[in-house]
Structure 1
Amino acid sequence: MGQMDINEMNLKLVLILQEWDPFKIGEEGYDSEIADVIKAVNEFHHPTDLAKKIQAIYEASFKEWIPLQACTKVSYKLLAVKMEVTCQI
């Protein structure tokens, strides 16, 4: 996978996560969480595993719990982007 693909993928992931805005605080409010989630996207391949990790990341920062169903929905979108990029090789 070329560096360009990785950057492009990360950009798409950032946009999905900013748009998600689970706590309705505005797109700019999640920089460190988004960075952590992008790392997790590279580590996890299963939507449920990724969803649990996303849930933990946001909960650690905001002391608020996001329903796993909502996290799973976004994890599918994120993994779809990863698949798209890895399939282009």
Structure 2
Amino acid sequence: MNRRAGTVMEEWDPFAIGSELYDKEIGKVVDQLHVLDHPSELAKKIQSIYESSFKKWIPLEQCVEISYKLIALKYEAKHII
């Protein structure tokens, strides 16, 4: 699940600067994915992580969209086991 979530996050590239520049943030988001189960909570955390690192704001709607994808991966992984 971690690799798949990382891939989803790499493809997202919210600031269009290249996915290789988000390694630290992706790791933090994947860590939060293990803790949080609600898409809006995860979205707020994603927004906070990226804003803290890049000093740029991402609209919450964009974060919600990616959080739904991540939560879906999480639940898919739980059902495979």
TM-score (norm 2): 0.98
Displacement of 1:27 in angstroms is 1.1
Partner residue in 2 for 1:54? 46
Q: Distance between the aligned counterparts of 1:88 and 1:74, measured in 2?
A: 21
1:26 counterpart = 2:48: no
Superimposed CA distance per residue, residues 10-47 of structure 1 (whole angstroms, 9 cap, x where no aligned partner):
11001100000000011101000000000000010000
Partner residue in 2 for 1:38? 30
Superimposed CA distance per residue, residues 52-84 of structure 1 (whole angstroms, 9 cap, x where no aligned partner):
000000000000000000000000000100000
Number of residue pairs aligned between Structure 1 and Structure 2: 81
Q: Distance between the aligned counterparts of 2:80 and 2:48, measured in 1?
A: 31
Identity score, percent: 52
- Structure 2 unpaired stretches of 5+: none
TM-score (norm 1): 0.89
Runs of 4+ in structure 1 off by over 3 angstroms are none
Structure (1 or 2) with the larger CA radius of gyration: 1
